[in-house]
């Protein structure tokens, strides 16, 4: 029996230890904010936080997440929207929206590492997250604005 903490709730799982965390979150727990994109950790749609750092849940097994704290888009803020989500709305970042939960999770992790990121920091930190609609300039602007509000 594996123990895993998801969104501050202790959980037990006695299923296949090789089950990708993505499917545990979506199919077992019903947390559908985390999206399936490529299944190979190339697009970032499945990004969640493990102990506060961005990971790709499509290639992380439940057993690899055992004993860790997993946070999904559903729990990034206890009191309304996270500042990154606020800026996403303010800067009209989403177009189709499919990749946005992964983009937001990656951006939050980036801002934890680099509270005042340069354009190069943002481009590098977000490079593993693909937006097929091409809203990269709005993503960068929203991250810079969120960094300014974290002060």
Sorted by where each begins, the domain ranges of the chain are: 2-75, 83-149
Distance, CA of 120 to CA of 97 (rounded, Å): 24
- Identify the architecture of domain 83-149 in CATH: Orthogonal Bundle (1.10)
Question: CA 56 → CA 10, 21, 79, 125, distances in Å?
Answer: 21, 9, 26, 14
Q: pLDDT per residue over 95-113, tens digit each?
A: 999 999 999 999 999 999 9
Q: pLDDT per residue over 53-90, tens digit each?
A: 999 999 999 999 999 999 999 999 988 999 999 999 99
The 3-state DSSP class for residue 3 equals strand
Selecting from 1.10.10.1100, 3.10.20.30, 2.30.130.60, 3.40.1710.10, what CATH number does the domain 2-75 have? Answer: 3.10.20.30
Distance, CA of 35 to CA of 38 (rounded, Å): 10
């Amino acid at each position: 029996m594996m123990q895993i903490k998801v969104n501050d709730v202790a959980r037990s799982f006695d299923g296949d230890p090789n089950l990708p965390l993505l499917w545990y979150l979506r199919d077992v727990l019903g947390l559908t904010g985390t999206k399936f994109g490529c299944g190979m950790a190339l697009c970032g749609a499945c990004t969640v936080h493990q102990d506060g750092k961005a990971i790709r849940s499509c290639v992380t097994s439940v057993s690899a997440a055992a004993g860790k704290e997993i946070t999904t888009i559903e729990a990034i803020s206890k009191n309304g929207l996270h500042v990154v989500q606020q800026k996403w709305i303010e800067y009209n970042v989403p177009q189709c929206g499919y990749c946005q939960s992964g983009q937001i999770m990656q951006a939050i992790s980036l801002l934890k590492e680099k509270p005042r990121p340069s354009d190069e920091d943002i481009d590098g930190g977000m490079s593993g997250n693909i937006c097929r609609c091409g809203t990269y300039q709005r993503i960068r602007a929203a991250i810079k604005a969120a960094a300014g509000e974290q002060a």
